Amino acid sequence: MTALIAVPSAAPFRRDALLRLVRAGLVTGVIDGLFSSILSVFAYGSTVTRLFQGVAATLLGPGAFDGGTSTAVVGALMHFGVAFGWSAVFLVLVMRSTRVRGLVASRYGAVKAASLYGPLVWMVMSLAVIPLLVGRPPAINVRWWIQFFGHAPFVGLPIVTAIGPGPSGPAQIGSRPS
């Protein structure tokens, strides 16, 4: 007689991971987009359209600034693509590393992880990805540092809290592991 062994389906786990990724990508795209838009308009005297045309210009070249709303939409889509990409990277880190899960689940773990991950995202994007795409080095100035520090609360924190420490749900700021 052959005994049947019940093997749990991976489908609920995959569905949970996909939901966490979608939540993180959307929330991060919106929060970082608002942060950047507010900076562009109120601190730098520019427009939201020009901000997202600038994002599009990394792939389309300087002509993106003459493309009107259509290139701004391309830039906004690129912005959300990047938010989803970095959310996916963090999700993989959480799924594969007990150390990362432990950090996120620890007391103030979401803040600690976001304080590392957000600036890391900015450094990789500003020091490697964007210079490779546009063919020139970054300008390390006040705006660069504002983005560096702003990426902890406006990129890292939304990603970390939306992904959370594991399949049970998002990390709580200040929560302790059980």
CA 120 to each of CA 11, 13, 21, 124, 132: distance values in angstroms, whole numbers, following the listed order: 32, 28, 19, 6, 17
- Is 2 domain-assigned? no
Domain count within the chain: 1
- Is 21 domain-assigned? yes
**Where in the sequence is the domain holding 136, given as residue range(s)?**
16-163
Furthest-apart CA atoms within the chain: distance in Å: 77
- The tens digit of pLDDT for each residue in 115-171 reads 999 999 999 999 999 999 999 999 999 999 999 999 999 999 999 999 998 654 444
Amino acid identity at 42: F
- Is 139 domain-assigned? yes
Residue 140 near residue 122, CB atoms below 8 Å? no
The whole model's pTM is what? Answer: 0.86
- Is 5 domain-assigned? no
**pLDDT confidence tier of residue 4, bands split at 50, 70 and 90:** low
